Structure 1
Amino acid sequence: MYQTHSMGKKTRLLISILIPILITQLGMYAMNFFDTVMSGHASADDLAGVAIGSSLWTPIFTGLSGILLSLTPIISQLIGANKRENIPFSLMQAIYLAVVIAVAVMVIGGLVVNPILNAMDLSPQVQDIAYRYLKALAWGMIPLFVYNALRCFIDSHGQTRLTMIITLTALPINIIFNYFMIFGKMGFPRLGGVGAGYASAIAYWIITFIALFVIIYKQPFADYKVFKKLYRVSFASWKEQLKIGVPIGFSIFFETSIFSAVTLFMSKYSTIIVAAHQSAMNFASALYMIPLSISMALTIAVGFEAGAARFQDAKQYSYIGIAIAISMAIIFAIAVFLLNGQIAKLYSTDTQVRHMIKEFVIYAIFFQISDALGAPIQGILRGYKDVNITLVMTLVSYWIIGLPLGYILANFTPLEPFGYWIGLIVGLAVGAICLFIRLSVVQRRFRRLILQRKQLEC
């Protein structure tokens, strides 16, 4: 990151940070995408099993890895304030925290996954595939969480192109091992959807080792000599990261887990509806990578400017990012409407499943319109280190408004499964509006603080 002095230069810098983040997010998401798509070509049960497993895993991972996102504004503000000597310590504490989180996930997951699956109305085969898929995925938990800490460190320097390259390097390996393990090629056993879990775990290890190599040997990261000194665990540093990260993590968890909750409610429907719903949700998640990436780029840019106490620059980045997100949402909404049949063909060879996917995918258009406003604002607020109110807004919008409304529409109107999607859309829209109001409050408050600081200096 570096200071810019015009809207045009800010737009170019933000886009230069954004594009690699977007490609990186799509690359990370593509692992799950190919897990789902390739499993769907093994059988409908494999598709449903992997979809159920993913729906349980995704909110846990995104929520807990969201805690590690606190490292991005922390380091961005340290860079903006020219306090680089504190950065290696902060990174090492984040790595320690990542390992602890990963171990906790594996231990708790081992205790609760079976009871959760037993509570769902699934066929024995689908339940077995979902359980073994999650068990296979667990082999990659520690490197995956560590990689997220390393990635935040790299991205906070504006070097988002590096994480893009790392992720894209691992993606073909994931696809190749999917092919080997799902379909039993090149001497591997035919594991169906379960093989996708092992393939993803292998990819996570590769990503982490490459990131470590980059941080140790590539400039400007090598100058920090991060691993030359063994730092003790600092609970004070963990407290700082958790104070910012826990609200971020829970906010993301409340947003992503709402989709898993809907999947649990929809398990009463046929395997065809469950498979179609999860396929369409998988595609909607792919579209979400665009506003999410803009959000992450804005955290870096706004955090840098906020750390340097440049109010106007931070505000300009905010509205440039929102404008880009809304423009992209409109373009993709038109594309999805025109190509929903082709999208359905990606996920299944079953005619009935394809027909249902086409119907669900139309609702994904409305998801991305709300996300185009809500997700970037969340990133902006993280740049200001304002995270607690966002947590409350997310909880209320999704769980108190969106899910109950979806349940009523699904169970007491002819909409049935589509009612849940309408409830989610309303929740996302309410959340986006509330976040916009909060952003206005935070920007006014930040401006007052800057003016007061300048008056004191005079």
Structure 2
Amino acid sequence: MKPTTSLGQKTIQFLHILFPILITQIALSAIAFFDTNMSGRFGTADLAGVAIGTSLWIPIQTGLSGILIGLTPIVSQLLGKRRDGEVAYKVMQGIWLSLIVSLFVLALGAVALGPVLGFMNLEPSVRSIAFRFLCAISFGVIPLFGYTVLRSCIDATGQTRVSMFITLIALPVNVGLNYLLIFGHLGFPRMGGVGAGVASAITYWVIFGAALLFIFRAEPFKNLQILRKLHALSPAAIKEQLLIGVPIGFSIFFETAVFSTVTLLMSRFDTMTIAAHQAAINFASMLYMIPLSICMSLTILVGFEAGSGRLKDARQYSLLGIGSAASMSLVTALVLLFAGSHVAGLYSTDPKVIALIKHFLIYAIFFQISDAIATPTQGILRGYKDVNPAFIICFIAYWIVGLPIGYVLAEHTDLGAYGYWVGLITGLAIGAALLLKRLFIVQRRFAAQYGGPQTEN
């Protein structure tokens, strides 16, 4: 990365950072898409089982990954301050933290998975598939979180194309393994939805190995001496990462967990409704990769500029990012409005399921608008290392407002399952407004701290 002086230069650098991240996130979401889609092709019970398993796994995975990506603003600000020599030490501490997080997840799963699934009102076949799917995923937990740390470092240096390349390797590996393990081709066992979990675990090991290869062989990582020395675990360094990472993780967890909670609450509906809901959420999640990628790009760029004291440039990147996300949300809304039947047909061949998916996708249109504001704004705040208020805002918007409204509408009105989606839309809109207000406060505080809004190039 380098300082920029004009809007044109900023746009070029923004796109240079954004495009590989977007391809990476789309590829990662495509892995989940193919898990869901190919399981659905095997059978409705497998689609529902993978849906339940994913609803339990994704909030934990993304929330704890959020703690680890707290390394991104730390590294980007170090680079902005020209303190490159400290990067390797911070990354090593991130690896230690990822191992701690992995062991925590495995212990939690061993204790809680059986009781949680047993508490839910699921058909026996669906419960069995969900349990075995999650057991298979567990074999990839350690490399997944290790890769999250390495990717955070890679992206913070501006080398987002490396992450893109690694993920583009992972996608055909995952799809190929799904083909072999879900359907039992070429002599492999016919595992159904459980095969998607096995394929994902193997894929996690592949991307971790590829990231290590780049870290050791490619620049600028060789020059930064990353992972060339085994630094002892430092409680102080771990605490620094946790102070930034935990609020980020909670913010992500509160948002993803509320969607998963809705899926779990909908277990009282029939298997067809669960499957349709999960299919619609899965596609909406793919579209969410656009504002999420912009969010991650803004964390890198704003962190770099804020670390250098160039506050005007940081604000310009903020406006550029939010404006881009808002424009793209209109495009994705049109896709959902006019191509809903085609999208639904990707997930099922059952006409009744297709009709339900199409109806859910109409509500997903409204997700895109709020996400286009809220998600990039969170990325900007992380670049400023202002992370605590965001997770409080997310908790209030999603859990104090959105989920209760959804529950009331679903249980006490004729909306039924769609009531939950109305509640989610309400929570997302409130969260977007509150996050924007917080951003204005932070930018004014930084301007006062540095004595004015001028840029310091």
Any residues of structure 2 matched to 1:333-412 within 5 Å, and which? 333-412=333-412
CA RMSD of aligned residues (A): 1.0
- Pair 1:204-2:230 in alignment: no
**TM-score, length basis structure 2:** 0.98
Shift of 1:112: 0.7
Write the distance in 1 (CA, Å) between the matches of 2:56 and 2:334. 30
Shift of 1:31: 1.1
Residues 136-174 of structure 1 deviation map (CA, whole Å, 9 limit, x = unaligned): 011110000000000000000111011000000111010
Residues 42-65 of structure 1 deviation map (CA, whole Å, 9 limit, x = unaligned): 000000000110011001000000
Query: What residue number does 2:283 align with?
Result: 283
Q: Percent identity?
A: 55
Unaligned runs of 5+ in 1: none
Shift of 1:67: 0.3
Write the distance in 2 (CA, Å) between the matches of 1:43 and 1:351. 14
Any residues of structure 2 matched to 1:240-251 within 5 Å, and which? 240-251=240-251
Any residues of structure 2 matched to 1:203-352 within 5 Å, and which? 203-352=203-352
Shift of 1:4: 0.3
Write the distance in 2 (CA, Å) between the matches of 1:110 and 1:313. 48
Unaligned runs of 5+ in 2: none
Write the distance in 1 (CA, Å) between the matches of 2:228 and 2:322. 41
Residues 316-375 of structure 1 deviation map (CA, whole Å, 9 limit, x = unaligned): 000000000000000111111100000001101111111100000111111111000000
3-state DSSP of counterpart to 1:347? coil
Write the distance in 1 (CA, Å) between the matches of 2:231 and 2:386. 28
Write the distance in 2 (CA, Å) between the matches of 1:115 and 1:227. 40
- Paired residue total: 454
Query: What residue number does 1:102 align with?
Result: 102
3-state DSSP of counterpart to 1:267? helix
3-state DSSP of counterpart to 1:307? helix
Question: Which one-letter code corresponds to 1:204 in the other structure?
Answer: Y
3-state DSSP of counterpart to 1:344? helix
Question: Which one-letter code corresponds to 2:54 in the other structure?
Answer: S
Residues 86-144 of structure 1 deviation map (CA, whole Å, 9 limit, x = unaligned): 00000000011011101110111111111111111110000000000000011110000
Query: What residue number does 1:47 align with?
Result: 47
Write the distance in 2 (CA, Å) between the matches of 1:369 and 1:114. 38
Query: What residue number does 2:2 align with?
Result: 2
Write the distance in 2 (CA, Å) between the matches of 1:38 and 1:130. 15
Write the distance in 2 (CA, Å) between the matches of 1:93 and 1:100. 11
Write the distance in 1 (CA, Å) between the matches of 2:61 and 2:46. 22
Any residues of structure 2 matched to 1:33-44 within 5 Å, and which? 33-44=33-44
Query: What residue number does 1:90 align with?
Result: 90
Write the distance in 1 (CA, Å) between the matches of 2:366 and 2:452. 42
Residues 18-46 of structure 1 deviation map (CA, whole Å, 9 limit, x = unaligned): 01001101111111110000000000000
Question: Which one-letter code corresponds to 1:117 in the other structure?
Answer: L
Write the distance in 1 (CA, Å) between the matches of 2:367 and 2:317. 24
Question: Which one-letter code corresponds to 2:387 in the other structure?
Answer: V
Query: What residue number does 2:156 align with?
Result: 156
Write the distance in 2 (CA, Å) between the matches of 1:374 and 1:389. 13
Query: What residue number does 1:29 align with?
Result: 29
Write the distance in 2 (CA, Å) between the matches of 1:220 and 1:231. 20
- 8 Å CA contact 2:46, 2:126 repeated in 1: yes
Shift of 1:80: 0.2
Write the distance in 1 (CA, Å) between the matches of 2:149 and 2:365. 32
3-state DSSP of counterpart to 2:422? helix
Shift of 1:227: 2.5
4+ long deviations beyond 6 Å: none
Shift of 1:191: 0.3
- Pair 1:423-2:423 in alignment: yes
Write the distance in 1 (CA, Å) between the matches of 2:318 and 2:226. 32
- Pair 1:17-2:21 in alignment: no
- 8 Å CA contact 2:311, 2:453 repeated in 1: no
Question: Which one-letter code corresponds to 1:139 in the other structure?
Answer: F
Question: Which one-letter code corresponds to 1:364 in the other structure?
Answer: A
Write the distance in 1 (CA, Å) between the matches of 2:48 and 2:417. 16
Any residues of structure 2 matched to 1:96-135 within 5 Å, and which? 96-135=96-135
Write the distance in 2 (CA, Å) between the matches of 1:52 and 1:231. 40
Write the distance in 2 (CA, Å) between the matches of 1:275 and 1:84. 49
Write the distance in 1 (CA, Å) between the matches of 2:114 and 2:25. 30
- 8 Å CA contact 2:312, 2:453 repeated in 1: no
Write the distance in 1 (CA, Å) between the matches of 2:453 and 2:161. 36
Shift of 1:453: 12
Q: 1:440 to 1:452 in 2, by over 3 A?
A: closer
Question: Which one-letter code corresponds to 1:167 in the other structure?
Answer: T
Moved more, 57-66 or 223-232: 223-232
3-state DSSP of counterpart to 2:339? helix
Residues 159-190 of structure 1 deviation map (CA, whole Å, 9 limit, x = unaligned): 10110000001110100000000001111110
Shift of 1:452: 7.6
**TM-score, length basis structure 1:** 0.98
Shift of 1:230: 1.2
Write the distance in 2 (CA, Å) between the matches of 1:432 and 1:219. 38
- 8 Å CA contact 2:77, 2:308 repeated in 1: yes
Query: What residue number does 1:192 align with?
Result: 192
Write the distance in 2 (CA, Å) between the matches of 1:203 and 1:321. 31
